[in-house]
């Protein structure tokens, strides 16, 4: 594309940019009607309803690159007071001298009898901007927001367009009666659309025709001399409430993404990064690519590497030593950048971005003769990457992938609490790509993770009114890492770390001594030990003891009448429970519970319990196990899962009756 062509595009699109985007006016009758409406058929229990949403994005080419103007207009009905926080507006954009926000307008409408009271955003309602993680956050508060209000606000953002991906979040927490999204961009640009909608769109020639229709999903494409505009409108979008056991909520919400995958002149369009193999060729080899960057810090860490390993070590030994050394030495910054790396600076300063830290790990392992490569990943608070093509705003993280005898080991040194050999469940989010001369795609799913927890309870030394209880809980590596991370980040929780383990005990059990083993060792499971006293009434002939002294589930986690989102467990589960009661000669069980064997989804989940009593030894034992092998279930299986868990809860609440032999 030559300079004259770019200048022509710039002039034509700049003229279009100066023209206000197509937006409808909403008269006072519309406002009055909705002020009087407090229940909407789309969701009669909703705390708020988005009456109208309009997002317009206009991208142009300038001499310094692509620029974009985004215009947002929202009209929201606040039905209940718990949604009043929607009146606090936060506008986020990248911190860059070329970026700015402007034209903040806002009006709150309230009803006083038949009179509409308007309160406009004033200077006192605008808050100063703050810088958070290299982003500018502009905030302003809508005035007089309360139950029954309608808030109507709009703003513009002008920014340097460098993300290459445009996102329309169609569905969210609250229902929307109408959401419009449009984008104008030069014809010299090609976008690929990735849609996560459940409906096919009906095509119209003009925006007005689409807006006057009653169709649920409409689409308009308009061609101008040097640009094109696409317009969508989606109606009657149900809100999605927060539900338990959801690993990736955003995966299940309607959205539309457009990614720039080509640029060029009228005669030729050059496509790029529209497949993983093409991305691999762009990111891995060549000047400034990942492969070249891996040599940056070699001269700095060579002496450390030579002192750490020897030639006779195998790949596992080398990996273990280098991983632990770098995890101890390097500290990750609070923000991450994919695409800009300075490994030499990170190693020298002992601090860098998460990408720089894990690339340093890859570099040292490769220099040690280990088959290590960078792996680019998604994260569960973003839409999962897909095999079809790499979507840039879904690529969140770089970790280290090591192959030892065809076995894949995943490593991440960015958190001091990360154990050797596994990533946080946060990064098991679908398709991922191992960078290399050829490159390779793999799926990372929650089925690949397993959490094993063992609880052992021993009750002995019965007296007239007490017994000794010893409880040992061995957490799995996943929960151990989560707990260490939680205690590191929250000092108050760290001080009260034993509280949560005491809460699970029956009320008549008091803790007299407790400890945690391996608290500071991220490569070993946490072991919680508690010595307790069980109290019971010395005058009663019978007393009750829980069969599940430490319950798998105290209550049913699936309480909703209906389920909107698929059920996702963050990892596979192997929980086991062992109770051993050494009874004195004068106490015996009056009943021994029958065995329990529950299965769901062809043993995708199971719960089993066996109780036995040996009179000759006067010993009562309970062994239980809860397993999850399949980690994802559809909404059509919800009733079955709900019933399955209720049976577990009911069994966990079963009591063993112990009978005393009364003295004559």
Cα 447 to chain center, whole Å? Answer: 16
**Angle between helices 298-308 and 354-367 in degrees, nearest 10:** 60
Q: For 88-110, what is the mean pLDDT?
A: 81
As a whole number of angstroms, the distance between CA 335 and CA 354 comes to 8
Q: Which residues pair with 308 in a beta bridge?
A: none
Which of 394, 429, 383, 385 lies closest to 410, judged by CA? 429
pLDDT at site 517: 95
Which of 376, 330, 382, 378 lies closest to 353, judged by CA? 330
What are the angstrom distances between the C-alpha of 344 and each of 42, 222, 261, 347, 352? Answer: 56, 50, 32, 5, 10
Q: What is the band of 21 on the pLDDT scale with cuts at 50, 70, 90?
A: very low
As a whole number of angstroms, the distance between CA 426 and CA 415 comes to 13
As a whole number of angstroms, the distance between CA 525 and CA 528 comes to 10
pLDDT at site 272: 82
Q: Which of 101-115, 267-281, 635-649 has the highest mean pLDDT?
A: 635-649
What letters, b where the CB count within 10 A reaches 16 and e where it falls short, cover 500-537?
ebbeebeebbeeeeeebeebeebbebbbbbbebbbebe
**Angle between helices 315-329 and 298-308 in degrees, nearest 10:** 120
pLDDT at site 20: 43
| Sign, CA torsion 638/595/578/539 | positive
What letters, b where the CB count within 10 A reaches 16 and e where it falls short, cover 40-52?
bebbeebbbbbbb
Q: What is the band of 502 on the pLDDT scale with cuts at 50, 70, 90?
A: confident
Q: What is the band of 75 on the pLDDT scale with cuts at 50, 70, 90?
A: very high
Give the model confidence (pLDDT) of 228-258 as tens digits.
999 999 999 999 988 999 999 999 999 999 9
Q: State the pairing for strand pair 605-614/619-628.
A: antiparallel
CB 52 within 8 A of CB 74: yes
Residues 6+ positions from 332 with CB-CB distance below 8 Å: 351, 352, 353, 354, 357, 414, 415
pLDDT at site 119: 93
Q: What is the band of 660 on the pLDDT scale with cuts at 50, 70, 90?
A: confident
Q: For 607-612, what is the mean pLDDT?
A: 95
pLDDT at 13 over 50: no
Q: Residue 594, Cβ neighbours under 10 Å: how many?
A: 10
Instruction: State the DSSP H helix or E strand holding residue 557, giving kind and residue range, or none if neither.
Output: none
Q: How many residues does the chain have?
A: 664
pLDDT at site 127: 62
**Residue 646 burial (CB < 10 Å; 0-12/13-18/19+)?**
middle
DSSP state of 487: H
pLDDT at site 137: 83
pLDDT at site 262: 86
Q: For 601-622, what is the mean pLDDT?
A: 93
**Residue 438 burial (CB < 10 Å; 0-12/13-18/19+)?**
exposed
Two structure tokens written together for 218? 């409409």
Which of 630, 626, 614, 620 lies closest to 656, judged by CA? 620
pLDDT at site 163: 67
Judged by DSSP in three states, 259 sits in strand
Place of tokens 């076995």: 407
pLDDT at site 140: 86
Q: What is the band of 23 on the pLDDT scale with cuts at 50, 70, 90?
A: low
**Residue 146 burial (CB < 10 Å; 0-12/13-18/19+)?**
exposed
19-23, 197-201, 367-371: range with lowest mean pLDDT:
19-23
pLDDT at site 5: 40
pLDDT at site 501: 80
Q: What is the band of 429 on the pLDDT scale with cuts at 50, 70, 90?
A: very high
78-87, 95-104, 199-208, 557-566: range with lowest mean pLDDT:
95-104
pLDDT at site 101: 74
Two structure tokens written together for 281? 């060729």
CB 126 within 8 A of CB 142: no
pLDDT at site 132: 65
pLDDT at site 273: 83
As a whole number of angstroms, the distance between CA 270 and CA 488 comes to 49
Cα 63 to chain center, whole Å? Answer: 38
More confident residue, 125 or 498: 498
Give the model confidence (pLDDT) of 114-165 as tens digits.
899 999 988 776 666 666 666 778 888 899 999 999 999 999 988 777 667 8
pLDDT at 358 over 80: yes
Give the model confidence (pLDDT) of 558-606 as tens digits.
999 999 999 999 999 999 999 999 999 989 998 888 899 999 998 899 9
pLDDT at site 454: 97
pLDDT at 297 over 50: yes
Residues 6+ positions from 227 with CB-CB distance below 8 Å: 9, 12, 13, 16, 184, 185, 186, 187
pLDDT at site 349: 96
pLDDT at site 14: 43
Q: What is the band of 16 on the pLDDT scale with cuts at 50, 70, 90?
A: very low
What's the mean per-residue pLDDT of the chain? 89
Two structure tokens written together for 323? 């991983």
Q: For 276-284, what is the mean pLDDT?
A: 93
Q: Residue 592, Cβ neighbours under 10 Å: how many?
A: 14
Residues 6+ positions from 32 with CB-CB distance below 8 Å: 111, 116
Q: What is the band of 266 on the pLDDT scale with cuts at 50, 70, 90?
A: low
Which of 418, 431, 469, 427 lies closest to 449, judged by CA? 427
Judged by DSSP in three states, 181 sits in strand
Q: Tell me the percentage of the chain whose pLDDT exceeds 90.
A: 66
Q: What is the band of 2 on the pLDDT scale with cuts at 50, 70, 90?
A: very low
pLDDT at site 138: 81
As a whole number of angstroms, the distance between CA 58 and CA 185 comes to 6
Q: For 628-634, what is the mean pLDDT?
A: 95
Residues 6+ positions from 168 with CB-CB distance below 8 Å: 55, 179, 181, 232, 255, 256, 257
Give the model confidence (pLDDT) of 530-560 as tens digits.
999 999 888 888 888 888 888 888 899 999 9
As a whole number of angstroms, the distance between CA 51 and CA 7 comes to 41
């Amino acid at each position: 594309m030559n300079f004259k062509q770019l200048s022509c595009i710039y002039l034509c699109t700049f003229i279009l940019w100066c023209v206000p985007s197509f937006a409808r006016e909403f008269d006072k009758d519309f406002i009055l009607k909705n002020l009087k409406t407090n229940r909407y058929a789309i969701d009669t229990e909703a705390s708020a309803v988005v009456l109208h949403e309009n997002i317009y994005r206009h991208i142009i080419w300038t001499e310094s690159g692509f620029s974009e103007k985004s215009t947002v207009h929202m009209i929201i009905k606040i039905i209940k007071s718990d949604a009043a926080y929607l009146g606090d507006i936060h506008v986020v954009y990248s911190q860059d001298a070329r970026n700015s926000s402007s034209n903040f307008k806002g009006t709150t409408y309230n009803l006083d009898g038949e009179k509409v009271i308007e309160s406009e955003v004033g200077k006192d309602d605008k808050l100063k901007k703050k810088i958070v993680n290299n982003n500018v956050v502009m905030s302003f508060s809508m005035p007089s927001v309360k139950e029954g209000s309608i808030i109507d606000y709009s703003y513009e953002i002008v920014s340097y367009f460098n993300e290459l991906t445009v996102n329309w979040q169609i569905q969210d927490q609250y229902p929307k009666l109408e959401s419009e999204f449009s984008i104008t961009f030069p014809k010299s640009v090609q976008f690929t659309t990735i849609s996560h909608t459940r409906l096919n769109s009906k095509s119209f020639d003009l925006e007005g025709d689409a807006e006057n229709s009653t169709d649920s999903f409409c689409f308009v494409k308009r061609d101008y001399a040097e640009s094109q505009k696409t317009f969508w409108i989606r109606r009657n979008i149900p809100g999605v409430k927060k539900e338990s056991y959801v690993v990736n909520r955003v995966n299940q919400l309607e959205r539309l993404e457009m990614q720039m995958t080509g640029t060029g002149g009228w005669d030729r369009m050059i496509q790029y990064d529209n497949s993983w193999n093409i991305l691999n060729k762009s990111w891995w080899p060549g000047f400034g690519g990942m492969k070249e960057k891996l040599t940056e810090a070699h001269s700095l860490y060579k002496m450390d590497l030579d002192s750490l390993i020897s030639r006779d070590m195998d790949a596992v030994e080398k990996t273990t030593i280098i991983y632990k050394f770098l995890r101890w030495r390097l500290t990750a910054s609070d923000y991450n950048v994919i695409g800009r790396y300075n490994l030499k600076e990170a190693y020298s300063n002992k601090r860098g971005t998460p990408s720089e830290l894990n690339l340093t790990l890859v570099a040292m392992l490769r220099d040690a003769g280990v088959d290590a490569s960078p792996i680019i990943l998604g994260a569960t608070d973003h839409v999962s990457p897909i095999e079809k093509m790499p979507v840039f705003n879904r690529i969140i993280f770089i970790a280290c992938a090591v192959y030892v005898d065809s076995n894949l080991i995943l490593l991440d040194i960015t958190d001091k609490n990360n154990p050797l050999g596994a990533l946080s469940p946060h990064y098991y989010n679908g398709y991922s790509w191992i960078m290399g001369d050829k490159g390779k795609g793999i799926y990372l799913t929650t089925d690949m993770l397993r959490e094993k927890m063992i609880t052992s309870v021993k009750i002995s030394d019965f007296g007239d009114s007490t017994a000794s209880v010893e409880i040992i809980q061995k957490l799995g590596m996943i929960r151990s890492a989560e707990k260490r991370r939680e205690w590191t980040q929250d000092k108050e929780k760290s001080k009260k770390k034993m509280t949560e383990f005491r809460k699970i005990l029956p009320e008549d059990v008091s803790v007299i001594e407790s400890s945690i083993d391996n608290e500071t060792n991220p490569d070993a499971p946490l072991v919680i030990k508690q010595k307790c006293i069980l109290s019971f009434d010395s005058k009663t002939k019978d007393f009750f003891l829980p069969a599940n002294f430490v319950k798998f589930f105290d209550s049913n986690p699936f309480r909703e009448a209906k389920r909107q989102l698929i059920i996702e467990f963050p990892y596979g589960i192997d929980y086991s429970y062992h109770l051993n009661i050494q009874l004195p000669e004068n106490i015996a069980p009056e009943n021994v519970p029958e065995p329990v064997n529950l299965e769901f989804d062809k043993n995708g989940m199971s719960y089993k319990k066996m109780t036995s009593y040996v009179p000759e030894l006067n010993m009562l034992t309970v062994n239980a196990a809860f397993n999850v092998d399949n980690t994802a279930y559809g909404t059509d299986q919800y009733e079955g899962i709900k019933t399955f868990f209720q049976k577990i809860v009911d069994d966990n609440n079963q009591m063993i009756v112990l009978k005393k032999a009364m003295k004559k």
